[in-house]
Chain A
């Protein structure tokens, strides 16, 4: 599979692949990095937002 890198498209087999996640109350992030001879040549990330913007709305009582 070809990977888009700072050096152009490269065969995945030529690259060192690292993957990771960040999972907390706010988000789930998955990322993938490819390095070529120690140099970072590709990094992508996906974020799943877990917390909505959710204001509470109130109606005042009369009197």
Chain B
């Protein structure tokens, strides 16, 4: 037998589940310490002129789209499948998570070009999760839908990996 240095793959998915707390942190109560509720994830659209990136720490309405039937803050993301992880070797693995349904903005008019969706945790002070960009779009009395990739180690929307 030999030991192998590695970050434990399960740790990565457990981070997404909030099961480790390596420092003092202020969070909104999840009702129970032993059986906490799931935080609400929301998705907001941002104009092509906005400046969201890796340094974005929380949702802000600055640069967000506006228009008929679009509510500031965006829509709630369907999240029925918890983060999980899989090992690919003794040193490597992937933790991953994907919203469990498409994100849809229905019968909206968004006349100014937008190219970004921000996923954020609306339960925990709107803390930012991820920024996803695409070719700029407008919508006129229509529906804007973001279809999710497969929730797999190779395709999931958010993946933490070690090699």
Instruction: Give A residues with C-beta under 8 Å from B.
Output: 4-6, 22, 24, 26-27, 29, 31-33, 40-50, 52-59, 61
Q: Is there contact, CB below 8 Å, between B133 and A57?
A: no
Option from A47, A53, A54 in Cβ contact (under 8 Å) with B147: A47
Q: Given the known A-B contacts A53-B158, A56-B161, are A44 and B135 also in contact in the complex, defined by CB atoms under 8 Å?
A: no
Using a CB–CB distance below 8 Å, which chain B residues touch chain A? Answer: 5-7, 12, 96, 107, 109, 130-135, 137-149, 155-163
- Looking at A29, A40, A57, the one whose CB has the most chain B CB atoms below 10 A away is A57
- Shortest CB–CB separation between residue A21 and chain B, in angstroms? 10
CB <8 Å contact, B109 and A6:
yes
- A43-B138, A45-B139 are known contacts. Are A59 and B144 too (CB-CB below 8 A)? no
Q: Which residues of B contact A53 (CB under 8 A)?
A: 130-132, 157-159
* A49 with B148: CB separation less than 8 A: yes
> CB distance A59 to B6 under 8 Å?
yes
In this complex, what residue of B is CB-closest to A49? B132
Q: Which residues of chain B have C-beta atoms less than 8 A from A33's C-beta?
A: 140
Q: Is the Cβ of A44 less than 8 Å from the Cβ of B147?
A: no
Q: A47-B146, A48-B149 are in contact. Are A57 and B7 (CB under 8 A)?
A: yes
